[in-house]
Amino acid sequence: MGAPCLLGPLPACGRFGVPAGEGAAGLGDSIQPARKNQHVSNVSVQLEMRSLWEEFNSLGTEMIVTKAGRRMFPTFQVKLSGLDPLADYVLLMDFMPLDDKRYRYAFHSSSWLVAGRADPAAPGRVHFHPDSPAKGGQWMRQIVSFDKLKLTNNLLDDNGHIILNSMHRYQPRFHVVYVDPRRDSERFAHENFKSFTFAETQFMAVTAYQNHRITQLKIASNPFAKGFRDCEPDDW
């Protein structure tokens, strides 16, 4: 996990809103500043389990945050192409606030209401994929899974987890960073990464599920959630 200092140029986390357009067939958005290094310019990313993400998104995805850190479900997983098989890349994720609002859930109407301005945002953290850095060929060989990533609401977390505010909305982002071997690579940092946003992965951070239909979908689709069934039981 040799984290290089190539992250300054990532689009700042303090802005809201996500470029709205969505690439066809679940290809990630990558609206980028002008010119990019050829090692990243042809990179494309496909979101795995897209239909499951969309099912959650249509209900309003909620992700649990806990003091100890909680994994996301669905897990953010992507298939990569267009990397230089022999070049080194670092893969990472961060989370952008989708707006500057705080929400609360109205059980009677089963809907989210704005409850005021956002709470102060914790210092933005990033999560490096633990296999970083690795060759493009390695990254493309199989699905890249961020199943070690955990979300927490503990502002004092020292486990390196992603710190989020409960009852706030977030948009996960995925970044491919080319490890530039040139001596003065810092000067090209802004050219050496490419970022991807999948609108269907946005979610509300919560400490307990609010929408009961989200709970049910989690139980139905997450093997770790009790009551998982592969198919309809016979005697029901």
| Contacts to a second copy by CB under 8 A | 1-2, 134-135, 138
Q: Do 59 and 217 touch, CB atoms closer than 8 A?
A: yes
Q: Which of a second copy, DNA, none does residue 220 bind to, with CB < 5 to 8 Å depending on kind?
A: none
Residue 134 contacts which entry, a second copy, DNA, none (Cβ below 5-8 A, type-dependent): a second copy
CB of 63 to a second copy, least distance (A): 29
Report the distance separating Cα 100 and Cα 11, nearest Å.
Answer: 17
Least Å distance, CB 218 to a second copy, is: 31
Task: Name which position in 138, 145, 154, 185 contacts DNA (CB under 7 A).
Answer: 154
Residue 218 interacting entry, from DNA, a second copy, none, C-beta within 5 to 8 Å by type: DNA
Report long-range pairs for 102-106 (Cβ below 8 Å, ≥24 apart): 102/165, 102/167, 102/168, 103/167, 103/168, 103/169, 103/204, 104/167, 105/210, 105/211
Closest to 134 measured CA to CA, from 148, 119, 149, 144: 144
Tell how far CA 152 is from the center of its chain.
14
Q: Tell me how many residues contact DNA (CB under 7 A).
A: 27
Stretch that binds DNA, among 52-60, 85-93, 190-198, 222-230 (CB under 7 A): 222-230
* Contact stretch for DNA (CB under 7 A) within 5-13, 50-58, 90-98, 208-216: 208-216
Q: Which of 167, 176, 186, 201 binds DNA (CB under 7 A)?
A: 167
For residue 73, the partner it binds in a second copy, DNA, none, with Cβ less than 5 to 8 A by kind, is: DNA
Least gap, CB of 70 to DNA (angstroms): 6
Q: Is 182 in the site for DNA (CB under 7 A)?
A: no
With a CB cutoff of 8 Å and minimum separation 6, the contacts of 18 are 29, 96, 98, 171, 197, 199, 202
- The item of DNA, a second copy, none sharing an interface with residue 135, based on CB under 5 to 8 Å by kind, is a second copy
Residue from 41, 57, 66, 138 in contact with DNA (CB under 7 A):
66
Among 70, 127, 129, 161, binds DNA (CB under 7 A): 70
Cβ(164)–Cβ(127) below 8 Å = no
When asked if residue 153 is in the footprint of DNA (CB under 7 A), the reply is yes
Positions that interact with DNA (CB under 7 A): 64, 66-68, 70-71, 73, 104-105, 115, 153-154, 166-167, 206-209, 215, 218-219, 222-226, 228
